[in-house]
Amino acid sequence: MITEFLQRAVTALMLVAVVGFLFFACSTFIYTLFLACALGYILAGEWPRFKLWWLTPWYPVLPFLALIDVYIHDKWLWAYLVCVVAAYDTGAYSIGKLWGSTKIAPTISGQKTIEGLLGGLLSAGIMSFFLRFLLQKTLCYGIIFLLLQGCAIGLVAFFGDLWESWCKRKGQLKDAGALLPGHGGLLDRIDGLLLAALVYDILLITGFML
């Protein structure tokens, strides 16, 4: 468990560095090119193993387009989304490993527990409050609203993770790949973010997300 935790921690630090570069020192063109390369890697190296080619235009291609659109719409909102989903992932993993016992969907993913889900939602809510209220000084939103918004994003990320687990079940896979030690493949690491980005982008387009 300790070795797996250290692997995940090192990989997480590398991903933080990537996100920091994309936010602080990256143009929209470079960001789009970066995502195109990531999508190309998934489509060439990971997605064929799922044997679900008929889903490709809707998943994973459409969520990647949503990630680009959110970034173009507002880089701060993109960073907010990425950080809240990352907080959910970290909280769900940590609490699930320490106290998780009640399985949510054992036929799809035997590792997901109610305790982990609640820990992830709490972490996402706190991160949402921290970013929108403390850092951006967004006083027009109430604390409860910011906490609930983070929890909602975390819940969507949970279903994104569950969806990818279902896809892996269909392909009889444990992991999408082995690119990221402690995480599995690239798709394993960003599955929650992909669905969250898709829903978030739809809400931005329709004017429901502030």
| Residue 144 reports pLDDT greater than 90 | no
138: pLDDT confidence band, cut at 50, 70 and 90? low
Share above pLDDT 70 across residues of the chain, in percent, rounded to a whole number: 89
Q: What's the pLDDT tens digit per position in 2-43?
A: 566 666 667 667 777 888 888 887 889 999 999 999 999 999
Q: What's the pLDDT tens digit per position in 86-109?
A: 999 989 988 998 898 899 988 888
Say if CB 140 and CB 131 are below 8 A apart: no
Kindly provide the residue ranges of all beta strands, DSSP E only, lying in the chain, ordered along the sequence.
Answer: 103-105, 109-113
Say if CB 80 and CB 210 are below 8 A apart: no
pLDDT value at residue 141: 64
CA distance 98 to 157: 21
Quote the pTM value.
Answer: 0.91
| Residue 154 reports pLDDT greater than 70 | yes
